[in-house]
Amino acid sequence: MDFDLSKPQKLLKHSAREFFARECKLDRVRELMETDTAHDDKLWQSIADQGWTGLVVPEEHGGLGLGLVELAVVAEEMGRACLPGAFLSTLTAAALVERAGSVAQRAKYLEPIAAGELKATVAFLEEGASWEVDEIKLKATREGGNFQLSGRKLFVPDAGIADLLICVARDGDGLALLPVERGAEGLSIKAMPSMDGTRKLHEVAFESVMVAEADVFGADGDARGALRGALEVGCVALCAEMVGGMQWVLETTVEYAKTRQQFGRAIGSFQAVQHQCADMLLMTESARSATYYAAWALTEGDPSASVAVSIAKAYCSDAYREVGNRGIQVHGGIGFTWEHDLQLYYKRSKSSETLFGDATFHRERIARIIVDGNAVARERAEQAEALAGQLQAAETDAAADVTANATASE
Amino acid sequence: MDLNLIPNEQQFRDEFRAWLKTNVPEEWKGGTSAEDRDDYIEYLRDWQRKLYEGGWAGISWPKEYCGRGASLMEQAIFQEELARANAPQLIGTIGLSLVGPTIIAMGTEAQKSRYLAPILSGEEIWCQGFSEPNAGSDLASLGTKAARDGDDFRINGQKIWTSFAQMADWCLLLVRTDSQAPKHKGITCLLADMRSEGVSVRPLRQMSGDSGFNEVFFSNVRVPVTQVLGEVNEGWTTAITALMNERANLGTGIQVVFKRNLEALIARSRTVERNGRPASEDPIVRQKLAQAYLELEILRLNTNRALTSLSKTGIPGPEGSTQKLYWSEMNQRTQQTAQEILGPYGQLKDFDNGIWEYAYLRARGNTIEAGTSEIQRNIIAERVLGLPKSY
C-alpha cells in the first residue's frame, strides 16, 4: 500500500504550484473578482497550454488522459491560488460529455475543451436549490424531433462565459441532458451577484429554446448514471481545491502566529493560539486524506467510490469553513479586513460548501448506503449485532493498547 | 499512489487471518469474558505462548532476535487482524511493543539474552513505570528517587496509571538519579524486578468500573546497577526511544474495534424507536450516524497515510499525536451519538450487555490517557507547525 503521490504526481504538483504562483497572483484574483465573468483569456490559454483543461480528457480527444489523482493534484494548487473562472464548471461539463455523449458528440466538444477553445457548464439547480436529481422540475417537452425547454435554472456557475451549457431537465420519468450553445434563441442569462467573486453565479432563463433530439446527450443510455459520475468528478476536484485553500489558510495563519507579537512574545507561543493551529492542521490533513482517497477510488472504480466522494465532500465542506474561522480568529482584526486575502478564501469556502451539495446533503447520501444499505451491508450489520456481546472485552483490550502507547512530552 | 495491498502484504494478511481462524480460543469467540476466570492471567499467557509458537509474537522485532522483521504495513495488518478476529488481548503488549524494541536498541548483550526471549513467549510480563502523581504531562519532572548504595540503587517513590502492574514480573522504570541536574538530565531507566521486596501494587478503579490501571509504590527497593538500560542519567533518551518504538500503534487495531461498535449501533438504530418509527429513519439520527461513519473512515485513511510516510522516512515522528488526538475525540463524539440514539437504554447495564454504558464512560478517558489532547496539540503546534515553545 502506498498512500503518497508518485514521483510524476509530485512533479506535477510542483509545477502546478509554480505555475499558479507566477500566473495567478492574489492581486490578479482580486481584479478578476471585480469583473462580470472572473475570466481571464490569457490565463485560461496558459492553463490549456499546460494541458490541464484536458487533464482527464481521453487522449483520443486531445486530452492528457490522466486519472483523478492527477486532477486532484492540479486542482489543489488551483484552490491554493484561489483561481477564479470556469475551470471546475468546464471540467464537470466535460466529464458529463465524456460519460453521456456519443462518439461524435465527444469529438465535437471534448477536443475544443482540451484545447482551451471551449468553456462549458452544467445547469442543474432550480428554485428549490437542491442537488437531488429527483427534485429537478424543469421539463423538456418533445416536439417534432426537438426538445423544447421553457423555464429557469438558478445558481449556474460561469454561465456568463460558457460557450456550452448542458441543461439537466426532466423527460417524462427520465432525464434529458440538453446541450444549449451560447447565443441560442430564447436563452437569456442574468448575473446572480453572490458572496464569492471568484465563481460567478447566474440565472439562466429558457424561453422555448429548441434542442434537436439527435443532439441530446445520453438519449440511449444511462443519463442519470452519467450525471452522477460527472458530478462525482466535479466533487472530487472541488474537494481538492478546498484542500488547497485550507493549506493556504493554515500556512498563512501559522506564519502570522510566528511573527505577530503581543505581550512581548509571538502569539504562536500561546497555547490558546497553538491549539487553534493544531486543529487547523488536523482538519486540513483529514480533508486531504478523504479527498485523495475519493480520487483514487473513483479512478479505480472501487465499490466504495460513491461513499468516498460523499465522505470527502461532507468533511471538506465543514472543514474548509472551520479552518477559515480559526484562521481569521488567530489573525484578529486584520483577518476581518477587506485588505487581507483571508477574506477571499473565506468566501470561497462558503461557495464551495454548497456547490454539489453541502455536508448535510452528503451525509444523507452516506446514510442511504450505510444505514439503509443493500442486502450485503445489512447482513454484515446483523453479524455485527451478534458480536455486540463480545464488544466489552474488545474495548478493554483497546484500552490496554492505548495505555501502552503512552506519549511523552518534553 | 496505490492503496491496494501489495502481494507480500496480502500474503501476510491471509496467512495470519487463517492462523487466527484456527487458533483463537473457541470459548473466547463464544463471548465469555475471560476476566471472570480464576486463571485469567494464565489463560492470557497461554494465548501469547500460542502466538509465539506460531511465530506471531514480536513480529516487528528483527529476525536475529526471533522476530519476523515485519514491515510497518504488516504490523498494521497484524493489529487489524487481531482486532477483526476479536482475539484475546496480548498480555505482554508492553514488553512486545515497547520494552523489547528498546532493549534491542539500547541494551547490553547480557540484557538482550536475559530478557528478550521471555517477553516473546509471554513467560515474563512487563509494565511501564513512567507517570507519577506529580509527573503526568510533564513526565520529565518525575521524582521517584534512586540513591546509589554499593552495587545497587535504592528506590523510593510512587508510579501511577501503570497498566498490567498487578500481573507484571518486570517494570521499565524511570527514576531520578541526579536531583541537581536539569530535569531531563538526571533521569535513569532501570529494568526493575516487580517481585523485589518493597514493591506494592494497588489497583485503581476507573469510573467505568474496571481496573485497568494501578498505583505502584517503591519503598527502599534495591535494583542492581547492572539493571540500567542505556546510561545513568541518560534515561530520558531511553524513555523517548521506548515511546517512539511504539510506532506501529497508530490506532490500527482500535479502528477495527470502533468499526464493529459503529456497525452494532447502526443495527441498533433500526430497532429502537424515535417518534414511533425506527430511529434509523429519523433524519437527525441519519445525519449523526453518517458523521460517525465518515469520521471513522477518515481515521482509517489518515492512518494509512501516516503508515506510508513512516515506512518511507523510517523515523517515527509526531504522526502519533495527530492520530491520537483524532481518534480519542472522535470516539467521544460517537459514543455521545450512541447515547442520543439509544436514550435511556444506552445507560442500562444489561442492555446489549451494558456495552453502550461502558463505552460512553470508557471513552471519557480517551482524551486523557496516553497524553492528553492538550499535550497532543502542543506537540503538533511545536513539532509539526514549528510554533515557538509555550513552556
Residue A406 and residue B130: Cβ atoms within 8 Å? yes
- Residue finishing a domain among A118, A134, A157: A118
Query: Among all residues of chain A, which has the CA nearest to that of B239?
Result: A408
Does A206 lie in the same domain as A175?
A: yes
CATH of residue A207's domain is 2.40.110.10
Indicate the range of B26-30, B147-151, B212-216, B283-287 predicted with least confidence.
B26-30
Stretch A109-118: mean pLDDT? 98
Q: What is the pLDDT of residues B247-306, one digit of tens each?
A: 446 677 788 889 989 999 999 999 999 999 999 999 999 999 999 999 999 999 999 998
Its domain, for residue A187, covers: 122-220
Residue B301 and residue A289: Cβ atoms within 8 Å? yes
Stretch A174-195: mean pLDDT? 97
Q: Is the pLDDT of residue B242 over 90?
A: no
Q: Is the pLDDT of residue B80 over 90?
A: no
Residues of B in contact with A5 (CB under 8 A): 1
Does A110 lie in the same domain as A14?
A: yes
Q: What is the pLDDT of residues A60-101, one digit of tens each?
A: 999 999 999 999 999 999 999 999 999 999 999 999 999 999
A344-377 exposure pattern, b = at least 16 Cβ within 10 A, e = fewer:
bbbbbbbbbbebbbbbebbbbbbbebbbebeeee
Residue B246: the pLDDT is 60
Residues of A in contact with B264 (CB under 8 A): 384-385, 387-388, 391
Q: Tell me which of B9, B246, B329, B340 is the catalytic residue.
A: B246
Residue A409: the pLDDT is 38
d(CA A386, nearest CA chain B) in Å: 8
> What does the mean pLDDT of chain B come to?
91
Residue A293 and residue B161: Cβ atoms within 8 Å? no
Q: Is the pLDDT of residue A395 over 70?
A: no
Residues of A in contact with B389 (CB under 8 A): 269
Query: Count of domains in chain A?
Result: 3
Q: What is the pLDDT of residues A232-263, one digit of tens each?
A: 999 999 999 999 999 999 999 999 999 999 99
B residues 244-263 near A, CB within 8 Å? 246, 249, 253-254, 257, 260-261, 263
Identify the structural domains of chain B with CATH numbers, from first to last. 7-91 (1.10.540.10), 126-234 (2.40.110.10), 250-384 (1.20.140.10)
B64 given a catalytic annotation: no
Which one of B86, B128, B324 has the shortest CB-CB distance to A394?
A: B86
Residue A405: the pLDDT is 39
Q: Is the pLDDT of residue A19 over 90?
A: yes
Confidence of residue A269 (pLDDT cuts 50, 70, 90): very high
- ipTM computed for the complex: 0.91
Residue B316: the pLDDT is 66
Residues of A in contact with B290 (CB under 8 A): 314, 363-364, 366-367, 370-371
Residue B371: the pLDDT is 86
Does A381 lie in the same domain as A247?
A: yes
In a domain, A343, yes or no: yes
Does A189 lie in the same domain as A251?
A: no
Residues of A in contact with B379 (CB under 8 A): 407, 409
Q: Is the pLDDT of residue A377 over 60?
A: no
d(CA B189, nearest CA chain A) in Å: 14
A residues 189-228 near B, CB within 8 Å? none
Please state the pTM of the whole predicted model.
0.92
Q: Is the pLDDT of residue B53 over 90?
A: yes
Confidence of residue A116 (pLDDT cuts 50, 70, 90): very high
B residues 114-133 near A, CB within 8 Å? 128, 130-131
Confidence of residue A359 (pLDDT cuts 50, 70, 90): very high
Stretch A29-42: mean pLDDT? 98
Residue A375: the pLDDT is 45
Residues of A in contact with B2 (CB under 8 A): 1-2, 296
B residues 19-38 near A, CB within 8 Å? 28-29, 31, 33-35
What percentage of residues in chain B have a pLDDT greater than 70? 95
Q: How many CB pairs under 8 A join A and B?
A: 292
Q: Is the pLDDT of residue B36 over 60?
A: no
Indicate the range of A90-94, A228-232, A394-398 predicted with least confidence.
A394-398
Confidence of residue B42 (pLDDT cuts 50, 70, 90): confident
Does A295 lie in the same domain as A180?
A: no
- Residue finishing a domain among A172, A188, A220: A220
Q: What is the pLDDT of residues B154-205, one digit of tens each?
A: 999 999 999 999 999 999 999 999 999 999 999 999 999 999 999 999 999 9
Residue B263 and residue A380: Cβ atoms within 8 Å? yes
Does A329 lie in the same domain as A362?
A: yes
